[in-house]
Amino acid sequence: MSGKAAIVGGGVIGGGWAARFLLNGWDVAVFDPDPQAERKLGEVLENARRSLPGLGDVALPSEGQLRFCASLAEAVDGADWVQESVPERLELKHRVLAELAGHVRADTVIGSSTSGFKPSELQEGQALAGQIVVAHPFNPVYLLPLVEIVGSPANDPAFIEDACARLTALGMKPLHIRAEIDAHIADRLLEAVWREALWLVRDGIATTEEIDDAIRFGFGLRWAQMGLFETYRIAGGEAGMRHFISQFGPCLQWPWTKLMDVPELTDDLIERIAGQSDAQSGTHSIRELERIRDGNLVGMMRALALNDWGAGALQNAHDAARAQAAGLVDHVGALSDPSLPVLTLTRAVPLDWIDYNGHMTEARYLDAFAQATDRLMRMVGCDDSYIAEGGSFFTVETHIRHLDEVRAGAPITVHTRVLEGAGKKMHLWHEMQSDGRLLATGEHMLLHVDLATRRASPPAPQVAGALERLAAAHAALPLPEGAGRGVGAPR
């Protein structure tokens, strides 16, 4: 799913929205009267291009077209989605939303990034009230998947459902909030922690760094994967949540927090917080902190993907949809032309695949070829269910030639040929490319194995038949240069 997005306000959040749409193949038009808007958004895009392509295991679509417009009407013309990200002043948002009338289609979603206003407040007096929804994201928008979707009785439920579907296609997690409430859900939780943190600094209990350490070395790691209630369910032990509440519920009556009070933000308190924050993080620029943050987020979400959990499970589902769109198939019968080398991998080089030389480390070439082998195995029927029944292929020999270097964020593809597929053998030839450059070749010999005995055995007839058909189709291709070559032999 792609289209045109109009971004109204190109600051940190608007720029993040622009990156999320643009890198997922949408054309993006931006309107922001700030003379520095193009530079600021360009810096956000630079970070997004560095990190987002490597988050998943399937290549992003071709990047859309970006343009900056001189007027709001020009930016929103023909837009499928308009995202308003102007400052949090209701009168300003009303003025911008009113100006959209007569310039957008009846099916255009008008999302507001507001973190506090309710949709009914935004819709008040608006001719396009039924098209206006809260679409509140989290920074960085191009990486963090959550977006709170809030509508009002003015919005048709089908319109809300369509808006959520469009966001899901962008790899996001739309959380439809059923009832209007100030600050929605997530910011209300954040505000409670923020308020308590201000008291701890004001009363001299902790510094800004100590408070951040309490979160990032402790419960923050648990929250990142399981949230609040599932974390506490585990804390209740075998007896579960009921035991946890009965054990820790009474402490809610104790004066542990000051959530009903707000410390006065005096000049002294503001200076104390700012000074501690400078001491904590001042050695890094904001751009450096953003890159560090993005690298950490990608690493955490990729780790979650290994267990198909939380944000990682969401990314896996998004990868599966992108894989289908990119032409990757899971069975031989779906190939449009089985006589050609098979596309078995399309992705970008993630940040954690880069070594001290600034390019993809040698182990990751093997990783990429292993992923390509896994897909070829699935295509011939050696899938999860087949392996669960006791059959699989084991690699017995590998030869990789490293022909060119590739850096983080670069797109790579692997095309695979079956050089031999008879009896117990599966002899594969992989070629990895990036933008037409041959980066590496991988030659792999695998044997079919009975997992019960751990010994070589003939594959099941359906697997053997699919593999033989693919090998026969590839037999007409010329032998690839380098096939069978020994290590160190002249090219």
Residue type, 356: Y
- Count other Cβ atoms within 10 Å, centred on residue 383: 15
Beta bridge partners of 449: 392, 456
Helix, coil or strand: residue 71: coil
- Residue 90 tokens, joined: 């209701």
Tell whether the torsion through CA atoms of 115, 120, 126 and 132 is positive or negative. positive
**Is 204 assigned a ligand-binding role in the annotation?**
no
- Residue 158 tokens, joined: 């089908």
Are the beta carbons of 451 and 390 closer than 8 angstroms? yes
- Residue 401 tokens, joined: 């030639």
**Is 11 assigned a ligand-binding role in the annotation?**
yes
- Residue 112 tokens, joined: 């507001």
| CA dist., res. 31 & res. 12, Å (int) | 14
Residues 6+ apart with CB under 8 A from 250: none
**Is 151 assigned a ligand-binding role in the annotation?**
no
Burial class (CB in 10 A: 0-12, 13-18, 19+), 77: middle
Residue type, 211: I
**Is 14 assigned a ligand-binding role in the annotation?**
yes
**Is 193 assigned a ligand-binding role in the annotation?**
no
- Residue 216 tokens, joined: 């990032």
Residue type, 288: E
The three-state DSSP-derived secondary structure of 293-316 is HHHHHHHHHHHHHHCCCHHHHHHH
| CA dist., res. 114 & res. 122, Å (int) | 9
For the CA atoms of the chain, what is the radius of gyration?
27
Per DSSP bridges, beta strands 81-84 and 66-68 are: unpaired
| CA dist., res. 362 & res. 416, Å (int) | 19
**Is 391 assigned a ligand-binding role in the annotation?**
no
- Residue 290 tokens, joined: 């953003």
DSSP state of 255: S
Residue type, 93: K
The annotation places the binding site at 9-14
The annotation places the binding site for NAD(+) at 9-14
